[in-house]
Structure 1
Amino acid sequence: MKYCFADLHIHVGATEGGKWIKIPTSRRLTVRNICEHSLWQKGMDVVGIVDAMSPLVLEDLNSLLAEGLLQELPGGGYQYKQSLTVLLGTEIETIEPQGGMAHTLLFLPDIAAMRRLSNYMSQFIKNINLSAQNAHMPLNQLIDIAVSFEAMIVPAHIFTPYKSMYGVCARRIRALLTEKNMRKLSAVELGLSADSDLADRIGELSSYTFLTNSDAHSLDKIAREYTLFSVEQANFQEIHQAMRRQRGREVIANYGLNPRLGKYHRTLCEKCGHTEQTEKIVSAGVCVNCGSNKVVTGVLDRINDIADYAAPIHPAHRAPYYYQVPLEFISGLGKKGMGKLLDLFGTEMNVLHRANAADLRQAVGDRIADGILSARSGTAIIQSGGGGVYGKVINKVDK
């Protein structure tokens, strides 16, 4: 078995020819640039491109195949420059009869299968060329379709207050899905504002593997969260087996933001702008500062409201969750400092996982090195985010 760093939720901003796929994102977020950046700067082993159902994105993928930069893998998926595994996915929006929308990731093994899904879903989706479009159906119906295409099925950012299962659709998955379709889920994605300790306070999630992905809308955001898989080969089939913990394949670790850094971790009052920073439990739907009901309920406060357990109960299969502060959150680390780190260590994965303290200090000085090391050790001081605003890492000398 070998270990593979994987970020399976990366959006395409635009095509090579400049046509928008996801608005608003960066035009630099093309399939080619995603592969180059993920391989050479981020140091990823596997990426999931989740706008591959767009015929325009499929054209760009075919162009990379024609150039010989992509090669189809036995077992599904593609290899970029014989180094980076690329999985083809799509993010689809569903709507429940009782209200609430959710996003779900589907992954298929190759371009031909994705094109068939694209052709089929075009009867439900108004603009199949664009990202994360509404399929005008409930999640149960989408899962039935996905199963017929033998897709991996991963509910996305499951707690966020916009377009997620627990965030806005229901207090329990079983309220949305049949028991049969609950078993068809390959894994669930936690989202930036949650971690395993929060998710394992809900009993029905105990059977599912947790994924941590970036949901990147720009190149810099790739690998701000990622999952470590143990597989024999990094391809579609084995990644799917790892999600389902089959044949010895499994998720070894989740690397994610401290949830307080997530932009929906705490409840934000849209009237007075208050975001709670203490451990105080916030009543759902009410601002603790001004009493207004114009609030965006945070993930922590939503989970406090719906949880089965006051403390997490982790199943035996649960992979450890490591807080990973992306380098972009480190105070004082600009482009020049980042360049020095990459020149010395090669990739961000090497900086975050392998660089020793002495080498970091030599590269960027004590202040920035201390920020990286405190983030790595989990001792960083963090101001919580909420309502669409990311949290902050506060340098101890600036506090």
Structure 2
Amino acid sequence: MEEYFADLHIHIGRTASGKPVKITGARSLTIENILKESTNVKGIDIIGVIDCHVPEVLSELQALIHTGDVVELDEGGLRFQHVTLILGSEIEIYDEHCKGPIHVLAFIPTISKMLEFSSWMSDRMKNITLSSQRMYETGRNLQEKVRELNGLFIPAHIFTPYKSLYGRGVTATLEEVFHPDYIDAVELGLSSDTNMADQIEELHRYSFVTNSDAHSLPKIGREYQKIKMKTPSFEELRKALHGTDGREIVANYGLDPKLGKYHRTTCDDCLTILEDTTEACSNCGKSKVIKGVYDRLLELKTHSGDNQSRPPYIHQVPLEFIPGLGKKTMLKLRDYFKTEMNIIHEAPEEALRSLLSETVAESIIRARKGTLSFQEGGGGKYGKVNVF
């Protein structure tokens, strides 16, 4: 068995011809750039690209297979240099059972099956060329189709205020919309962690995944997991999500929830964090709020949150959050340590202190030890690392 880093939620901003896929994604976020960034800069072993249903993207991947730059694996997934690509699609569900829209991730093992899935969705979606589009189909029927294609089904960023399972999608339980046995894992999102999510007892049966939801190349790997598997393939990932045959998630690495942009409830007008969510904003007097994950979980809580069977959740501070760590310094660190995973996990403290200012080096070291302090995020605004 080996251990691999995996980030399973990465968007495509544009196709090779320049057509938009994720409207809010960076233009540089093409499939080829994602593959190169993940393996050469980030040091990620497995990536889930969740806009692979787009016909032009599928054509690009087929062309890379034809040239030999990408190889289809026997156990599912595509291999490029040192990274495995898992073919995925983010879909919006808003059927008659939903209280609000819900985003889900569907992962499909092969190009041929993704082509079939894309064709099936095109009859149920207004624009198959874009990301995260609404599907005019029930959540349970979508689950059935993913299962028919031997895929994986994962509700996405399940607590965020907009377009998520518990944010607005259901009143109290996932069974209002989905078949519980056809869920392979759930994605926590940037504003929660394991202990917070385990306050909902119905989630105890599922593995938790922590992913970047990257809308630009630098955001790849800001959240990820370490997974024990025999090889980095689709079928090995399936076993790891279900904890079978010795495969497992070893650890989740994610932002401290305080850094998440929807952690706390804020005023919808001025984004002041509200300690008392029943009162008007003390700053501007407005009463409309954006409910944070922290407060939504207090409403949904059915358990203490202490679940000893979970792998550790390690609060990770992405390098882009470190004050004073600019682009030139990042290039120097990558030149020395090769990948960001090496900088975050492996670089000796003495080497960091020799290459960086004392403040920046100490911030990275404290981030590893979980001793940084933060300004909390909310209302769509990320939290910040306090400069000590």
1:303 aligns with 2:271: no
1:228 match: secondary structure: strand
Query: Structure 2: which 5+ residue stretches go unaligned?
Result: none
Q: Give how far 1:204 is off.
A: 0.5
Q: Deviations over 1:32-57 (max 9, x none)?
A: 00010000110000001100011011
Q: 1:319 aligns with which of 293, 311, 314?
A: 311
2:356 match: secondary structure: helix
Q: CA contact under 8 A between 2:38 and 2:47: conserved in structure 1?
A: yes
Q: Distance in 2 between matches of 1:271 and 1:87?
A: 40
Q: Give how far 1:174 is off.
A: 3.9
Q: Distance in 1 between matches of 2:306 and 2:354?
A: 42
1:103 aligns with 2:103: yes
Say how many residue pairs are matched. Answer: 387
What aligned pairs does 1:1-399 form with structure 2 within 5 A after superposition? 1-81=1-81, 83-97=82-96, 98-177=98-177, 181-276=179-274, 280=275, 282-283=276-277, 287=281, 292-309=286-303, 311-316=304-309, 318-396=310-388
Q: CA contact under 8 A between 1:29 and 1:217: conserved in structure 2?
A: yes
Q: Distance in 2 between matches of 1:301 and 1:237?
A: 37
Q: CA contact under 8 A between 1:331 and 1:395: conserved in structure 2?
A: yes
Q: Give how far 1:63 is off.
A: 1.7
Q: CA contact under 8 A between 2:108 and 2:146: conserved in structure 1?
A: no
Range moving further from structure 2, 240-249 or 141-150: 141-150
Q: CA contact under 8 A between 2:255 and 2:318: conserved in structure 1?
A: yes
Q: Give how far 1:68 is off.
A: 1.2
Q: CA contact under 8 A between 2:266 and 2:289: conserved in structure 1?
A: yes
Q: CA contact under 8 A between 2:91 and 2:103: conserved in structure 1?
A: yes
Query: Structure 1: which 5+ residue stretches go unaligned?
Result: none
Q: Distance in 2 between matches of 1:306 and 1:204?
A: 11
Kindly report structure 1 stretches of 4+ aligned residues shifted beyond 4 Å. Answer: 284-291
Give me the TM-score of the superposition, normalised by structure 1: 0.94
Q: CA contact under 8 A between 2:271 and 2:379: conserved in structure 1?
A: no
- 1:303 maps to a residue whose letter is L
- 2:314 maps to a residue whose letter is Y
Q: CA contact under 8 A between 1:190 and 1:212: conserved in structure 2?
A: yes
Q: Distance in 2 between matches of 1:147 and 1:66?
A: 28
Range moving further from structure 2, 267-276 or 161-170: 267-276
1:362 match: secondary structure: helix
Q: Distance in 2 between matches of 1:265 and 1:273?
A: 12
Q: Give how far 1:289 is off.
A: 5.6
Q: Give how far 1:284 is off.
A: 6.8
- 2:46 maps to a residue whose letter is V
Q: Give how far 1:291 is off.
A: 6.1
Q: Distance in 1 between matches of 2:249 and 2:283?
A: 41
Q: Give how far 1:171 is off.
A: 3.7
Q: Give how far 1:313 is off.
A: 2.3
1:229 match: secondary structure: strand
